[in-house]
Amino acid sequence: QSALTQPASVSGSPGQSITISCTGTSSDVGGYNYVSWYQQHPGKAPKLMIYEVSNRPSGVSNRFSGSKSGNTASLTISGLQAEDEADYYCSSYTSSSTPNVVFGGGTKLTVL
Amino acid sequence: QVQLVQSGAEVKKPGASVKVSCKASGYTFTSYYMHWVRQAPGQGLEWMGIINPSGGSTSYAQKFQGRVTMTRDTSTSTVYMELSSLRSEDTAVYYCARVGRREVEYDAFDIWGQGTMVTVSS
C-alpha cells in the first residue's frame, strides 16, 4: 500500500479537463510544499510535470497545473490531448522515519 | 545536455548481488543530490535512498537497510547502487534521479536515468 493515495484511474475526452487527487497526511503533503507530479508513458522513465505543489518546469505545457489544500494535492490537466494518456504519480517529502520520499500509487489517465 | 545514463539490464540468481551505475553529464556532478527509485513490473514507484555526490553521505529507506549500498566516483561523475541478497521481489526497473535544485537533499526529481531492468530468477 502506497503512502499517498491516488485514484487508480481517471478518464476524459479530448478538450476536457480532469483532476487527479493525492491524499497524504500532515507529515508529508500537508506539512511541506515539496509535492511533485510525474508523467510516465509505458516503457519510459518518469517525467517531472509539477514541482513544489504548483510550479511548472520549463517546457511543460501550461495545460498542467498543481494545487494543494490541507493534506490533499491535486493535478489538473486542461484541454486534454491524446498524448496526455499516461500514468501519473504524485510524490512528497515526508518527515516520518525513512522513507523520506513517498509516492502515490499512480493514476492511469485514459483519453477517450 | 544534462543527462543520466545507466548501465544495462541484468539477470541475477536469488541470493546474488547487483550493482547498477548511473553516469551524469552536462552539469556539476557534486552540486546535486541523487536518489534511487525502483518500479516493479506493473507497479508504482518506490523510493530507495539518497546519496550526496559531494561528500558521499547516504540515507536509505528502512526497507532496504542492510541490503543496499550507494556510492559515488567523482572522477567519473558516476553513482552506483548495489543491492544484495536478491530475491524475486527485487525484480524491477531501477532509476537514478537528480534533485532539481543545487545542494538541496529533497525536492522534485528533474532528470531521470533511462532505467535498468534487474531480473531475479533461478
Least Cα distance to B82 among B19, B36, B21 occurs for: B19
- Residue A79 zone, left/alpha/beta (φ > 0; ψ -120 to 50; rest): left
The C-alpha of B15 sits at a distance from chain A's nearest C-alpha, in angstroms, of 24
Determine, for residues A34 and B108 on separate chains, whether the beta-carbon distance falls below 8 Å.
Answer: yes
The C-alpha of A98 sits at a distance from chain B's nearest C-alpha, in angstroms, of 5
Q: What is the pLDDT of residue A3?
A: 84
Determine, for residues B110 and A97 on separate chains, whether the beta-carbon distance falls below 8 Å.
Answer: no
pLDDT digits (tens, 9 = 90+) for B62-86: 999 999 999 999 999 999 999 999 9
CA B26, CA B80: separation in Å to the nearest integer? 18
Other Cβ atoms less than 10 A from the Cβ of A109: the count is 19
Which pLDDT band holds residue B20 (cuts at 50, 70, 90)?
Answer: very high
CA B28, CA A3: separation in Å to the nearest integer? 33
Mean pLDDT for B43-67 is 95
A interface test, pick of B4, B33, B47 with most A CB neighbours within 10 Å: B47
CA A9, CA B89: separation in Å to the nearest integer? 25
B122: which 3 cell numbers?
A: 533461478
Q: What is the pLDDT of residue A1?
A: 61
Q: What is the pLDDT of residue A99?
A: 75
Residue B4's Cα: distance from chain center in Å? Answer: 11
Mean pLDDT for B19-36 is 98
Chain B residues in contact with A102 by the CB 8 A cut-off are 47
Least Cα distance to A90 among A59, A56, A62, A48 occurs for: A48
Give me the residues of chain A with pLDDT under 50, please: none
